[in-house]
Amino acid sequence: MSGVMKRMGMIFRAKANKALDRAEDPRETLDYSYQKQLELLQKVRRGVADVATSRKRLELQLNQLQGQSSKLEDQGRKALALGREDLAREALSRRAALQQQVTDLETQHQTLQGEEEKLTLAAQRLQAKVDAFRTKKETIKATYTAAQAQTRIGEAFSGISEEMGDVGMAIQRAEDKTAQLQARAGAIDELLASGALDDHSGLAKDDIQSELDRLSGGTDVELELQRMKAELAGGSSSSQQAIEGGQGQTRSQQQSQSDTPRFDKQ
């Protein structure tokens, strides 16, 4: 797939256009939607309150009418007792008219009560839905935020891995160079060992050796001097011995001179 779909997908993933992100941020959409639901719930609640108010007004009216009705009934009874049948008739006919109004109002009252109950139930259900939505919204927002963070981490990691790639290259170069140097050093060692190359650096070793030789030689000289002094102090009677010893010592000195450097080298 190399068409428009893929390319657009690549572009959107690649550049993560900030303006688009903001427009498409589901968190804002969710918050807005929640706000709308709250407004709706508020409307329903206001409706319930309005209906309840109307119901109460009807109840008051009903009470008034019933009061008037019983008053008219009393008046009729009194008129009849006084022998005024015409008045009693008037009172009763008015009461009948009131009674009709009362019946109408009672019907209205029942209707309103039913309406109110339905609305209350609807408001409760809506409240539950809005609550559930709020919970879900928060979950989604958290998920989205986490996903965003993950994306950021992912980006950071890919950035790091790129840098690590650079570091890796540097290490590789360093290793190559080291290996090259080691190979060269090895070759030089071999050449030196085979005698194809003069060991100029070996001069230092010789200096040390000659110093050691000189020191050990010096020690021999000192020892020799001390031995000679001791022999001389031993007396002239043993001059023969001394001559013989001297010869022996000369021999031993020659031997030590040839032996000592070999010992020191080891």
Partner 1 sequence: MIVRIMGEGQVRLDDGHLAELNELDDELLAETRAGDEEGFRRTLGALLDAVRRLGAPLPDDSLEPSELILPSPDATLPEVRALLKDDGLLPG
Q: Which is nearer to partner 1, 19 or 196 (CB)?
A: 19
Q: Which is nearer to partner 1, 16 or 223 (CB)?
A: 16
According to the binding rule CB under 8 A, does residue 10 interact with partner 1? yes
Q: CA angle, corner 125, sides to 121 and 129, nearest 5?
A: 165
Min dist CB 7 to partner 1, Å, is 5
According to the binding rule CB under 8 A, does residue 221 interact with partner 1? no
Instruction: Copy the structure tokens of residue 25.
Output: 């941020």
Instruction: Copy the structure tokens of residue 211.
Output: 């110093």
Min dist CB 124 to partner 1, Å, is 24
According to the binding rule CB under 8 A, does residue 11 interact with partner 1? yes
The CA distance from 163 to 152, in Å, is 16
According to the binding rule CB under 8 A, does residue 35 interact with partner 1? no
According to the binding rule CB under 8 A, does residue 67 interact with partner 1? no
According to the binding rule CB under 8 A, does residue 19 interact with partner 1? no
Binding mask 190-209 for partner 1 (x = CB under 8 A): --------------------
260 contact partners, CB below 8 Å, separation of at least 6: 216, 217, 220
Q: Which of residues 142-161 bind partner 1 (CB under 8 A)?
A: 143-144, 147
According to the binding rule CB under 8 A, does residue 15 interact with partner 1? yes
Q: Which is nearer to partner 1, 16 or 215 (CB)?
A: 16
Instruction: Copy the structure tokens of residue 266.
Output: 């080891």
Min dist CB 25 to partner 1, Å, is 11
Out of 21, 26, 85, 244, the only residue in the binding site for partner 1 (CB under 8 A) is: 26
Min dist CB 23 to partner 1, Å, is 10
Min dist CB 29 to partner 1, Å, is 8
Q: CA angle, corner 54, sides to 52 and 59, nearest 5?
A: 95
According to the binding rule CB under 8 A, does residue 178 interact with partner 1? no
Interface contacts to partner 1, rule CB under 8 A: 1-15, 26, 29-30, 136, 140, 143-144, 147
